[in-house]
Copies of this chain bind each other. A is one copy, B any other.
Amino acid sequence: MKKQVYAGIDLGGTKILALILDENGTVLKKTEAATHAQEGADAVIGRMIELIREGLDESYQLASIGVATAGTLNSGEGVVAYASNLGWTNVPLGTKLREAFGVPVNLENDANAAAYGEWAAGAGRGTKDCVYVTVSTGIGAGIVSGGKLVRGRDSSAGELGHITIDWKGPKCLCGNVGCLETYASGTAIGRRANQMAADLPDQAALLIEKAGGEAITSRHVAEAAAEGDELSVRILEEAGQALGAGMVSIIHAMNPEVVIIGGGASSIGAPLLEPMHRYIADHGIGTMARGVKFVSPLLGKEAGAIGAALLVRE
């Protein structure tokens, strides 16, 4: 008898990652290719089909395909309504993959798929209520409640980078004001550092040196903070407190057992995360904030594809 396997694909703007998993979520095969979105949707879908075929061998019986992708999805109909990173409008991706393999296909928002993957097979395994937050250029997130992915009406739930921490705060690109992301993302940390360097060039000497004439980035701030640079420590302290303020809202709304923090934030580490933890301890409702476990993700770049594969069975 053939072994039942599940395909999970992470369709990104630059790369396609395809995994073949067994029923326990163990990765059996991994294939990847450049997306080359400029060649058009049919070419990209052709490459996805090829990657899945490469991953299958004669002893495998493909049971389903899950795809994690950015953009606005119409999951029910298997359509990518709009994906700016691919230049796609109304691409019937689900139908095409279904026709090629004759198995059920599910499309999922990439941040949500990654959250589900980490919950089901990574750092959130064994829990029921889990929030996954990635702090990098922006702040993305996904929520699992009672063992189910929180999808919302348009599969767009979990935009936790765009919850407000200051309703009188500065405008965010999303149209809202005072979004968590405008205070605590890598972009926000870099922007703040460049402001400070313009205002207080003496105090920012190490940052300016590290940037070598280019714009200061959050990586420079993290490096400088690790070397004890006072201004950088202060910038990360502020961003960490803002992250804490966002986390308090998330904890009060979702009452999670585990919060997984990924992205650049986990590599910055203590200078960002300690102020966050202090803020949560000082501001969270005790019964809800105490005992929340903060952990790092375990699945790396495969989380989205693993989550997409496992979500088909939900």
Whole-angstrom distance between the Cβ of A7 and the nearest chain B Cβ: 24
Is the pair A254, B157 in contact by a Cβ cutoff of 8 Å?
yes
Tallying the copies of this chain within the complex gives: 2
Q: Which residues of B contact A164 (CB under 8 A)?
A: 164-165, 245-246, 248-249
Min Cβ gap A222→B in Å is: 23
With A162-B252, A286-B175 given, is the CB distance from A242 to B167 under 8 Å? yes
Residue A209 CB within 8 A of the other chain = no
Complex Cα distance, B38 from A291, in Å, reads: 33
- Whether the Cβ atoms of A256 and B163 lie closer than 8 Å is no
Known: A152-B254, A253-B157. A284 touches B248 (CB 8 A): no
Query: Residues 163-178 of chain A: 1 if any B CB is under 8 Å from the residue's CB, otherwise 0?
Result: 1111110000011110
8 additional A-B pairs beyond A156-B255, A167-B242, A250-B253, beta carbons within 8 Å, are A150-B254, A155-B255, A159-B252, A159-B253, A162-B285, A166-B166, A166-B167, A176-B284
26 A/B residue pairs, CB under 8 Å, sorted by A: A72-B287, A145-B151, A145-B157, A150-B150, A151-B255, A153-B255, A154-B255, A155-B255, A156-B285, A156-B288, A157-B254, A157-B255, A159-B252, A159-B255, A162-B252, A163-B163, A163-B248, A163-B253, A164-B246, A165-B166, A165-B167, A166-B168, A175-B283, A175-B286, A176-B252, A176-B284
